C-alpha cells in the first residue's frame, strides 16, 4: 500500500508515549514502587462543579426529543463561540464570535489547519518546542528553521531567512518562557512583511501571572492580518479527556482564495460534524463567572506545585517564569540517561529534554499537573536525590 509522502518521516517515538511506556515497564518490574508521574502534562482532575453540572444538564436534554441534538454546526454552537469571543473582549481584545471556531483541542486543530497549507513551506520554530510542531512540519514536508531560545530563556527574534509559517507558544511548552511584547511585535512585523502565517499557541495563557505580560497574539498591532490563535481548555479547565478548544481566525487574514476564515469554514462543512454538544455546554460553563473562578483555583494549585518542585531542585538549574505549569531544568548531559536515573532512584517520571528537539538536550521537564500531595512527595524525594 502506498502512503502519503512524509507519513513515515516522523521520529520513531512520540516522547510522551515513550515516557509512559518506560513508566509501565518499570512498574511491571517493580510492583512495589510508588511511581510519581511528572512527565506528560495531563491534569489529575476532577472537573469543576460548574462544568460537571452543565455536562449533566446537556446529557439530560438528550433524553427528550425536544432537547435532543443531532449533527451540530461544524464550526461550533453559537453559544460557545459567543462565550469565547466575550472572554477575549473582557481582556480588551476585539475578537468577534464569527472568528471563533470550536475544535477538538489544540493538537487536533493544528493538524487539521495545516492540511490547507501547501507542502514544502519554510517553518520557523523557536526551539526547544512542543514536539507536535516538528511532527506536523515533517508531515507537510516543511523545512524547519530551528531558532534557539536566548541564553536567558527568552524567545529568539524572527529569522533573517524567509519563512512562510512560524509556531509561537507562550507561555512556552516546555520552557515556560513568556513572549515579550517587543518580541511579539518583531514577529508580527516580519510575518506581515513576508506574507507568512503565525500560529500562536495560547494553550497555557491562563497560567500567565506576570502583570502586563502578553496572553494573546492579538494584543500585538497588526497580528489580525497574519496570525491564527489556538486555544484549549485542556490545561485551563481539565478537558484533556473531554477535548475542546478553539481557533481564532480573524476576518482580515487573507489567502490567495479569500479570507482564511471562509476557506476554513467551507472545509469544515465537508470534513467535520463538530465537537459533541454536551462537551460544548461544559466548555461554555468553564467561561462563566463561576467556571472561571473554579478553574483559576485549580490553575493556582498547579502553579504552586511547580514552584514547590522548583524549590527542590539545585539552585541555578531551573528556568522558571512563575507563569507556567512546567519546570524546565538543567540536568546536565544525556537527558534520557537522567530520566532513567531519576526513575530508578526516586521513582519519578520526568520528560527528557531531547524529546523537545536537539536544543532540549541537557535539560528535562517536570509537569506541575498533579495533586498537592504528589508534588509534596516528589519534592521530598528530589531533595534527597544526588543531581
Which residues form the interface with ligand MLT (CB under 6 A)? 16, 40-41, 107, 173
Give the nearer residue to ligand MLT in terms of CB position, either 173 or 272: 173
Give the nearer residue to ligand MLT in terms of CB position, either 106 or 217: 106
Q: How far is the CB of 208 from ligand MLT (least distance, A)?
A: 17
Q: How far is the CB of 30 from ligand MLT (least distance, A)?
A: 24
Q: How far is the CB of 82 from ligand MLT (least distance, A)?
A: 27
Give the nearer residue to ligand MLT in terms of CB position, either 41 or 278: 41
Give the nearer residue to ligand MLT in terms of CB position, either 77 or 130: 130
**Cβ contact 99:249 at 8 Å:** yes
H-type helices in the chain, by residue range? Answer: 15-29, 49-61, 78-90, 106-113, 131-140, 181-194, 234-237, 260-271, 277-286, 289-311, 335-346, 372-383
**Cβ contact 285:291 at 8 Å:** yes
Distance between CA 310 and CA 319 in Å, rounded?
9
Residue 315's Cβ-side half-sphere holds a number of Cα atoms within 13 Å equal to 0
Give the nearer residue to ligand MLT in terms of CB position, either 173 or 220: 173
Q: How far is the CB of 335 from ligand MLT (least distance, A)?
A: 15
Q: How far is the CB of 107 from ligand MLT (least distance, A)?
A: 6
Q: Helix (H) and strand (E) counts for the chain?
A: 12, 15
Q: How far is the CB of 352 from ligand MLT (least distance, A)?
A: 12
Residues contacting 277, CB < 8 A, separation 6+: 58, 62, 69, 72, 77
Give the nearer residue to ligand MLT in terms of CB position, either 41 or 76: 41
* C-alpha Rg value of the chain to the nearest Å: 21
Q: How far is the CB of 151 from ligand MLT (least distance, A)?
A: 23
Distance between CA 44 and CA 372 in Å, rounded?
10
Give the nearer residue to ligand MLT in terms of CB position, either 20 or 263: 20
Strands 318-319, 258-259: pairing is: unpaired
**For 96, phi and psi rounded to 5 degrees?**
-95, 155
Give the nearer residue to ligand MLT in terms of CB position, either 41 or 282: 41
Distance between CA 341 and CA 130 in Å, rounded?
24
Q: How buried is residue 119: exposed, middle or buried, by Cβ count under 10 Å (0-12/13-18/19+)?
A: exposed
Give the nearer residue to ligand MLT in terms of CB position, either 107 or 224: 107
Reduce the DSSP state of residue 206 to 3 states and report it. helix
Q: How far is the CB of 143 from ligand MLT (least distance, A)?
A: 24
**For 93, phi and psi rounded to 5 degrees?**
-110, 125
Locate 42 and state its grid cell: 495531563
Q: How far is the CB of 160 from ligand MLT (least distance, A)?
A: 30
Locate 38 and state its grid cell: 511528572
Give the nearer residue to ligand MLT in terms of CB position, either 16 or 385: 16
Residue of minimal Cβ distance to ligand MLT:
41
Q: How far is the CB of 207 from ligand MLT (least distance, A)?
A: 13
Q: What is the DSSP letter of 72?
A: P
Amino acid at each position: 500500500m502506498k502512503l502519503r509522502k512524509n507519513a513515515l518521516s516522523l521520529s520513531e517515538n512520540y516522547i510522551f508515549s515513550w515516557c509512559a511506556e518506560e513508566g509501565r515497564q518499570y512498574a511491571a518490574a517493580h510492583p512495589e514502587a510508588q511511581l510519581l508521574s511528572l512527565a506528560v502534562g495531563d491534569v489529575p482532575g476532577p472537573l469543576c462543579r460548574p462544568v460537571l453540572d452543565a455536562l449533566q444538564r446537556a446529557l439530560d436534554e438528550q433524553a427528550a426529543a425536544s432537547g435532543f441534538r443531532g449533527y451540530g454546526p461544524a464550526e461550533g454552537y453559537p453559544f460557545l463561540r459567543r462565550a469565547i469571543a466575550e472572554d477575549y473582549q473582557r481582556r480588551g481584545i476585539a475578537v468577534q464570535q464569527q472568528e471563533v471556531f470550536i475544535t477538538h483541542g489544540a493538537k487536533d486543530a493544528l493538524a487539521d489547519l495545516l492540511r490547507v497549507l501547501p507542502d514544502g513551506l519554510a517553518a520557523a520554530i523557536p526551539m526547544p518546542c512542543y514536539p507536535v510542531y516538528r511532527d506536523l512540519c515533517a508531515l507537510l514536508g516543511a523545512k524547519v528553521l530551528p531558532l534557539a531560545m536566548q541564553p536567558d530563556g527568552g524567545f529568539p527574534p524572527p529569522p533573517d531567512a524567509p519563512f512562510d509559517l512560524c509556531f509561537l507558544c507562550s507561555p512556552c511548552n516546555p520552557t515556560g518562557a513568556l513572549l515579550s511584547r517587543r518580541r511579539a511585535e518583531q514577529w508580527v512585523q516580519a510575518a506581515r512583511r513576508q506574507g507568512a502565517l503565525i500560529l500562536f499557541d495560547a494553550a497555557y495563557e491562563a497560567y500567565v501571572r506576570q502583570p502586563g505580560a502578553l496572553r494573546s497574539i492579538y494584543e500585538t498591532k497588526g497580528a489580525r492580518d497574519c496570525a491564527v490563535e489556538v486555544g484549549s481548555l485542556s490545561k485551563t479547565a481539565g478537558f484533556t479527556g473531554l477535548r475542546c478548544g478553539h481557533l481564532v481566525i480573524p476576518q482580515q487574514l487573507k489567502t490567495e482564495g479569500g479570507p482564511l476564515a471562509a476557506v476554513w469554514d467551507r472545509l469544515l462543512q465537508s470534513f467535520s460534524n463538530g465537537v459533541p454538544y454536551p462537551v460544548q455546554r461544559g466548555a461554555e460553563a468553564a467561561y462563566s463567572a463561576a467556571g472561571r473562578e473554579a478553574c483559576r483555583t485549580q490553575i493556582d494549585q498547579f502553579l504552586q506545585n511547580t514552584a514547590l518542585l522548583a524549590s527542590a531542585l539545585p539552585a541555578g538549574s531551573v528556568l522558571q517564569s512563575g507563569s507556567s505549569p512546567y519546570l524546565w531544568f538543567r540536568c546536565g548531559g544525556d537527558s534520557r540517561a537522567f530520566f532513567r536515573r531519576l526513575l530508578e532512584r526516586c521513582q519519578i517520571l520526568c520528560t527528557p529534554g531531547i524529546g523537545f528537539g536537539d536544543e532540549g538536550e541537557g535539560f528535562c521537564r517536570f509537569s506541575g499537573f498533579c495533586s498537592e500531595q504528589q508534588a509534596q512527595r516528589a519534592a521530598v524525594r528530589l531533595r534527597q536525590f544526588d543531581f
